[in-house]
C-alpha cells in the first residue's frame, strides 16, 4: 500500500511519518509513537475515550486520519505534564476519586481541559454539558464534575 508523508507536532515535538492513507490518528499515536493514553473503545467517535487536542480543539482520534494532520499541533494526555508536574486536572481527578477503571480518564481530562482553557470558572451546567460527550461506565460522573470544578476554581 502506498504511504503519505505527514509532518505535525505531537506534545511539542516535531514528527515526520510515512503513513497509510487509511491510518487513524489513534493508531498512529498508540502503535507508532507509543502514546497509549488515548484509548480505543467505540471506534466510531461516540465515546470520547480517544480524545486528544488538535490545534487547540478536542478531537476524537479514532475517526480522523493521520494523513489529514499535516501541520497540526497535537496534544495528548502525556503532553499535559510539564516540568515533572501533573496538570491541575490530573491532580484533581486523583484527589476527587474521579478515576475508577481509568479507561475514559484521558479523554475526559482532554475534553475538560479544553473547557477550562476557554472558561476557568465554568458553571456545573457548563461542565456537565461539556463532558456529556464522553462516556464513563464506572464513576457516575459526580466525582468527575467535582474534579473539573475544583481544577477550574483552584488549579489554574
Query: DSSP label at 68?
Result: G
Please state, in angstroms and rounded to a whole number, the distance separating the CA atoms of residues 95 and 16.
38
25 and 74 part of one domain: yes
Please state, in angstroms and rounded to a whole number, the distance separating the CA atoms of residues 144 and 54.
23
- The last residue of one of the domains, among 47, 79, 111, is 79
CATH number reported for the structural domain that contains residue 29 in this entry: 3.10.20.30
pLDDT in tens, the chain (156 residues): 799 999 999 999 999 999 999 999 999 999 999 999 999 998 888 899 999 999 999 999 999 999 999 999 999 999 998 788 999 999 999 999 998 888 899 999 999 999 999 998 999 999 999 999 999 888 778 999 999 999 987 655
50 and 72 part of one domain: yes
Structural domain containing residue 26: 4-79
Work out the number of other CB atoms within 10 angstroms of the CB of residue 32.
13
Query: What pLDDT shows up at residue 120?
Result: 85
Q: Can you tell me whether residue 39 is helix, strand or coil? A: coil
- The last residue of one of the domains, among 79, 97, 113, is 79
Query: What pLDDT shows up at residue 110?
Result: 97
- The last residue of one of the domains, among 44, 79, 114, is 79
- pTM comes to 0.93
30 neighbors 48 (Cβ within 8 angstroms): no
**E strand or H helix at 151:** helix 142-154
71 and 32 part of one domain: yes
Cell 499541533 belongs to residue: 73
67 and 102 part of one domain: no
**Phi (first) and psi of residue 96, to 5 degrees:** -85, 0
Number of Cα atoms under 13 Å in the Cβ half of residue 16: 1
Amino acid at each position: 500500500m502506498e504511504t503519505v508523508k505527514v509532518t505535525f507536532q505531537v506534545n511539542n515535538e516535531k514528527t515526520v511519518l510515512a503513513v497509510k492513507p487509511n491510518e487513524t490518528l489513534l493508531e498512529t499515536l498508540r502503535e507508532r509513537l507509543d502514546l497509549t493514553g488515548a484509548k480505543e473503545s467505540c471506534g466510531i467517535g461516540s465515546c470520547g475515550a480517544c480524545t486528544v487536542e488538535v490545534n487547540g480543539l478536542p478531537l476524537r482520534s479514532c475517526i480522523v486520519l493521520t494523513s489529514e494532520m499535516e501541520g497540526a499541533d497535537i496534544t495528548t494526555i502525556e503532553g499535559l505534564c510539564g516540568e515533572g508536574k501533573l496538570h491541575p486536572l490530573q491532580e484533581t481527578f486523583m484527589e476527587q476519586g474521579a478515576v475508577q477503571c481509568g479507561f475514559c480518564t484521558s479523554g475526559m481530562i482532554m475534553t475538560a481541559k479544553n473547557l477550562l482553557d476557554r472558561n476557568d470558572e465554568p458553571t456545573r451546567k457548563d461542565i456537565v454539558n461539556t463532558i456529556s460527550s464522553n462516556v464513563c461506565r464506572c464513576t457516575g460522573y459526580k466525582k468527575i464534575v467535582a474534579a473539573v470544578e475544583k481544577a477550574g476554581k483552584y488549579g489554574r
